[in-house]
Structure 1
Amino acid sequence: MTSLLSAQESGIVLGSPLFAHINPRQLPQLLTQMQASRRRYNQGDWILNEGDPCQAFGLILSGTVQVLRDDFMGYRSIINNLESGDLFAESYSLAPGRRLTVSAMAAAGETGILFLQQDFFTDREQISRGGQDSAQVRANLTAILATKNLFLNRKLSYLSQRSTRQKLIAYLSDQARACGSRRFEIPFNRQELADFLCVERSALSHELARMQQAGLLQTRRSYFELAEQLPETDSPI
């Protein structure tokens, strides 16, 4: 436990991919070097706003964060749904002069965020005098960025599908593979799933009903059960 975090929060931080393989005793020193600060938000509060500069990124201690974008006409697209231990805005904080092109919102209950300053990862002097654990954290961040790039490639493959049904099949098939089962729950309600796949909610609900009638799946709220074999999609990845 550190003076900044409770024992439970320290466990979440140490269990996050960013702090994998470090000596737990070094956590307080690392957080000091990162100029870490903690904030709490209620459901619906904006954590980061599109257009703002970004000099720190967040590690979620509790609750859920949605990364999203609203276009000029007010249509919302959900980029990702994140939970405890996940990071957000790290790419923006590490890109000099870049302003946010997305927003981050506390999506469920009370959300705790640990903010970490960019200088730890970009300042040459800090990098040169860092020890083994500092180097490990920086290596972990590189792996996280690579993993997120792969996720965004997968999302592009969903959005490249020609129809709402094909988008659903591509996304739900990936979720089934990730869970290792044809029965699984997704982290979205109907509106959020429509926003994630960039389709109208009415069109999504209509297509899900048609897919149930065709015996392709069963669904109730966020629960899905897929048929043993689904039609192939045009996924390029």
Structure 2
Amino acid sequence: MTDQHRCVTLVPLFNHLPDTDQARVNQLVSHQTVNKGEQILAPDSDPRLVIVARGSMKVYQLSASGREQLLRVVEPGGYEGENVLFGARNENLFSEALQQTEVCVLRQDDFQALLLKYPQISLKLLEINANKMMGVEQQAQFLSMARVEERLASYLLDLAKASGSSRVQIPMKMRELATHLGTTPETLSRKLKQFADAQWIERDHQTIILRDETALEEI
């Protein structure tokens, strides 16, 4: 299977289709390589669905004061932009490559034609968007916790639950994780050190091993 077919086979929105239909979908997408720090989506972008094939991109919005608020990190198989394709206005949503990232782009007209041709994609889209909304609710829950250590412990436990392992990989830089948790990089670094000193976790850069999940749950 070629790299040109990679986006369609990765994304759950399309990979349930038969191979012949996946190939037809693939003919509609354009493939792009985006360098680290380059913007992929912005309020003035043309309506389009962006699928990540390799690398990752962050999705964020700006507060009234211009402060960046991270919403999620999109990794291979994930996508962004579907709401705008349905007519919603993008007034404050941006995405940016976190590293050199390969994406597949599907234009609005082609996407809407696919929904008419393959109704099962609409059902899959509803399912995946429900999971996205859960992520947004989780973000709101993080920010409602008074203490940073509560947010950090909850985040690490959720990562472990999602991966099925006590060894987790932080999918973003510490600066971006700090933004996600509503704190500063300095405070986040201090809290991670406190967790490590208490032997609740063991940290090696972006890799964290949860040594005492009970202690983290009690936080």
Task: Specify if TM > 0.5.
Answer: yes
Offset from partner CA, 1:31-81 (integer Å, 9 cap, x none): 55xx533332111111112x3255211111222111122334443222111
Inter-partner Cα distance in structure 1 for 2:14 and 2:141: 30
Structure 1, gaps ≥5 residues long: 2-6
Instruction: Work out the CA distance in 1 between the residues paired with 2:115 and 2:162.
Output: 36
> Which residue number in structure 1 is paired with residue 71 of structure 2?
79
20 and 120 in structure 1: CA distance in 2 versus 1, 3 angstrom threshold: same
Equivalent residue for 1:58, pick from 28, 50, 53: 50
- Residues in 1 aligned to 2:75 and 2:4: alpha-carbon distance in whole angstroms: 13
- Structure with higher Rg: it is 1
Matched, 1:112 2:102: yes
Deviations along 1:61-106, one digit per CA (max 9) or x if unpaired, are 2221111223344432221111222111212332x25124221111
Unmatched segments (≥5 aa) in structure 2: none
Partners of 2:189 and 2:153 in 1: CA distance:
14
SS in 1 for 2:128: helix
Aligned position for 1:38: 31
Structure 1 runs (4+) greater than 4 angstroms displaced: 120-123
Match of 1:101 in 2: 92
1:92-151 CA distance string (max 9 Å, x none): 332x25124221111112x2222223345557xx755x2xxx122222222211111122
Normalised to the residue count of structure 1, the TM-score between the two structures is 0.81
Matched, 1:230 2:215: yes
Aligned to 2:8: 13
Letter of the 1:63 counterpart: G
Question: Normalization by structure 2: what TM-score?
Answer: 0.87
2:169 is matched with which residue: 171, 182, 185? 185
Q: Secondary structure at the match of 2:187?
A: helix
The answer for the alignment partner of 2:192 in structure 1 is 208
Query: Equivalent residue for 2:152?
Result: 168
User: 2 CA distance for matches of 1:143 and 1:18?
Assistant: 9
Number of residues paired by the alignment? 218
Residues 233, 115 of structure 1: alpha-carbon distance in 2 compared, 3 angstrom cutoff: farther
Q: CA deviation at 1:218?
A: 2.0
